[in-house]
Amino acid sequence: MKIKRNIASLCLAALALVANVVPGSSYTYAYTQEDLNNINSKISELRTQMNEYEEQASQLAAEADTIQGRIDSLRVEQASLRTQIELKEAEREQLIAEIEAITKRINTNSETVGYTVAQYYYNDEVTTIERLASADSFSSFVDEEMQMSAISDTLSAIIEENKNLKAELTIKEKNAELILEDLNTQKNQLAELESEQATLLAQTRENEASYRQMKADAASKKATLEEEQQKILADLASRYNVTNVTAGDPNKGGYPYSGRCPQQKDAFYDQWGMLICECVSYAAWKVYSTYGYMPYWGGRGHAKQWIANARSAGYTVSNIPKVGAVGISTGGAYGHAVWVEAVSGTRVYISQYNYRNAATNYKAGEYSESWVDQGMYQYIYFGG
C-alpha distance across the termini of the chain, in Å: 50
The predicted structure's pLDDT at residue 51: 78
CA distance 284 to 349: 18
67 contacts 197 by C-beta, under 8 angstroms: yes
Q: In DSSP terms, which residues pair with 328 in a beta bridge?
A: 337, 378
Whether residue 269 sits in one domain with residue 189:
no
Query: Would you state the pLDDT for residue 20?
Result: 35
- Per-residue pLDDT, 281: 93
Q: What is the pLDDT of residue 167?
A: 75
Note the pLDDT of residue 149. Answer: 61
> CATH no. for residue 110?
1.10.287
Per the structure, the count of domains in the chain is 2
Of the three residues 239, 262, 296, the one that is the final residue of a domain is 239
pLDDT of residue 27: 37
Please tell me the predicted confidence (pLDDT) of residue 375: 93
291 belongs to a structural domain: yes
Specify whether 174 is located in the same domain as 260: no
Does some domain include residue 213?
yes
Are 167 and 284 found together in one domain? no
CATH number, domain of 333, equals 3.90.1720.10
- Whether residues 235 and 203 share a domain: the answer is yes
The domain in which residue 321 lies consists of 250-381
Output the tens digit of pLDDT for each of the chain's 384 residues.
333 434 344 343 433 333 333 333 333 446 665 676 677 678 768 878 877 888 888 888 888 788 787 777 777 777 776 777 677 677 767 767 777 777 777 677 666 666 655 555 555 555 555 555 555 554 554 555 566 566 666 667 767 766 776 777 678 777 767 777 877 777 787 777 778 778 878 888 888 888 889 888 888 887 787 677 667 656 655 554 444 445 567 778 889 999 889 998 888 888 888 899 999 999 999 998 998 888 887 666 689 999 999 998 889 999 999 999 999 998 888 899 999 999 999 999 999 999 887 767 778 889 988 898 999 999 999 986
| 8 A C-beta contact, residue 344 and residue 305 | no
Residues 141 and 255 in one domain: no
DSSP, collapsed to helix, strand or coil, labels residue 175 as helix
Same domain, residue pair 302 and 208: no
The answer to whether residue 347 is domain-embedded is yes
pLDDT at position 16: 39
Q: What is the rounded distance in angstroms from the CA atom of residue 105 to the CA atom of residue 203?
A: 60
User: Is 123 within the bounds of a domain?
Assistant: yes
**235 and 283 part of one domain:** no
158, 286: one domain: no
**Which residues lie closer than 8 Å to 176 by C-beta, 6 or more apart?**
92, 95, 96, 99
Rounded to whole angstroms, the Cα distance separating 59 from 212 reads: 12
Q: Among 212, 239, 266, give the residue marking a domain's end.
A: 239
Q: What was the pLDDT predicted at 316? A: 94
Q: Note whether residue 245 is domain-resident.
A: no
| Residues 70 and 146 both lie in one domain | yes
230/315 same-domain check: no
Do 270 and 349 fall into the same domain? yes
**CA 382, CA 328: separation in Å to the nearest integer?**
13
What is the predicted pLDDT for the residue at 248? 61
Estimate to the nearest angstrom the gap between the alpha carbon of 161 and the chain centroid.
67
The model carries a pTM of 0.40
280 in the same domain as 359: yes
**Is residue 53 assigned to a domain?**
yes
CA quadruple 345, 350, 355, 360: dihedral, nearest 10: 110
pLDDT confidence of residue 19: 36
pLDDT attached to residue 327: 97
